[in-house]
């Protein structure tokens, strides 16, 4: 069989796609309607199908199963795109094959920021002291959606112009949280995360808003709790993901005696350790990564891996591992250490 050169085949494919694009305008397939696939259907009064579907636009199948919403969108960082879909109540995310990860170790605290126009605590004040409680409750918040980017303060912006504290770090056992985390296990596991999106992707926002509104969202398992994913003041919305059967996570183990440019990638053996993957929104930054009306950020794809081999036993060291501090200023409330790619 005669083989067609790759270059000629690509040109032919591009020409064909151009012809299809000219013939069919798919600029906005959904028009913002999650039931767009029935937008061209209308059952009239004399249509015999009305016995099954009713009159008007059908909202169910002949088997009386309700139609379900479909959402699709994309997001990116650094011109690298990720595509998200919801169909038949299944969220699917497809992205690039390689992504650098950051290691985060929560330390059981919440950083709360001074609200615009508030006075706050004087420098040197103890946010745990009884006389500070009313001010902490009134003047500080972990999430300031109305203030957008300006709500965040960098670690070196400790004091406001008035000389009061721009932020306070509160333990999750602080009275402000009304005992929600009183029986919380030790946060002794790190998580590995990557930033999924920049701001203003409204179609991806529709996908994620719908996914995060489902009953299966914000259900945190034992590994996620040991990484602090259930602390809502830090992770406002979380949904657990399952990797596709052929998906792998890879680590550069390097080559003995060679420099860091001599890479060697090996797949993590997830059969020997507990492992959860989560998609979450963080409260640290204030601009909507995917155009969320509530101005949250979709920037975490966090992976939590247990340190112990299977069968998984829920054990912890009985203490909080301390946060890796000030290795790099990243513009987040929790400082990060970059891991090897």
State residue 206's pLDDT score: 87
State residue 231's pLDDT score: 93
Residue-averaged pLDDT of the chain: 76
* pLDDT-above-70 percentage for the chain: 73
Model confidence band, residue 143 (pLDDT cutoffs 50, 70, 90): confident
Model confidence band, residue 128 (pLDDT cutoffs 50, 70, 90): very high
Region 86-108: mean pLDDT is 83
CA distances from 158 to 252, 322, 323 (A): 37, 20, 18
Model confidence band, residue 117 (pLDDT cutoffs 50, 70, 90): very high
Number of CB atoms found within 10 A of residue 106's CB? 23
Check pLDDT > 70 for residue 161: yes
State residue 256's pLDDT score: 92
More confident residue, 143 or 271: 143
Model confidence band, residue 54 (pLDDT cutoffs 50, 70, 90): very high
More confident residue, 16 or 32: 32
């Amino acid at each position: 069989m005669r083989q067609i050169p790759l270059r000629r085949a690509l040109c032919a494919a591009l020409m064909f796609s151009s012809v299809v694009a000219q013939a069919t305008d798919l600029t906005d397939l959904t028009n913002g309607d999650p039931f767009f696939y029935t937008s061209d259907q209308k059952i009239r009064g004399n249509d015999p199908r009305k016995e099954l579907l009713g009159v008007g636009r059908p909202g169910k199948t002949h088997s009386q199963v309700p139609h379900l919403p479909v959402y699709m969108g994309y997001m990116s960082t650094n011109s690298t795109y990720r595509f998200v879909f919801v169909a038949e109540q299944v969220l699917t995310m497809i992205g690039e094959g390689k992504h650098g990860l950051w290691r985060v170790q929560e330390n059981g605290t919440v950083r709360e920021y001074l609200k615009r126009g508030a006075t706050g605590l004087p420098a040197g004040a103890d946010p745990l002291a009884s006389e500070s409680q009313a001010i902490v409750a009134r003047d500080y918040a972990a999430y300031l959606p109305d203030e957008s980017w300006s709500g965040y303060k960098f670690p070196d912006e400790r004091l406001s112009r008035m000389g009061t504290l721009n932020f306070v770090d509160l333990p999750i056992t602080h009275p402000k949280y009304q005992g929600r985390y009183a029986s919380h296990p030790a946060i002794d596991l790190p998580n590995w995360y990557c930033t999924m999106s920049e701001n203003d992707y409204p179609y991806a926002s529709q996908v994620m808003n719908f996914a995060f509104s489902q009953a299966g969202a914000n259900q945190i398992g034992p590994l996620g709790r040991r990484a602090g994913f259930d602390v809502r003041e830090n992770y406002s919305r979380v949904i657990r993901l399952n990797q596709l059967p052929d998906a792998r996570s890879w680590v550069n183990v390097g080559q003995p005696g060679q420099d860091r440019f001599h890479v060697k990638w090996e797949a993590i053996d997830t059969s020997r350790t507990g492992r959860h993957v989560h998609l979450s929104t963080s409260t640290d930054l204030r601009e909507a990564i995917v155009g969320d009306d509530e101005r949250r950020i979709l920037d975490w794809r966090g992976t939590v891996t247990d340190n112990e081999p299977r069968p998984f036993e829920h054990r912890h060291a009985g203490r909080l591992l301390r946060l890796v501090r000030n290795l790099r200023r990243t513009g987040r409330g929790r400082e990060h250490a970059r891991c090897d790619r």
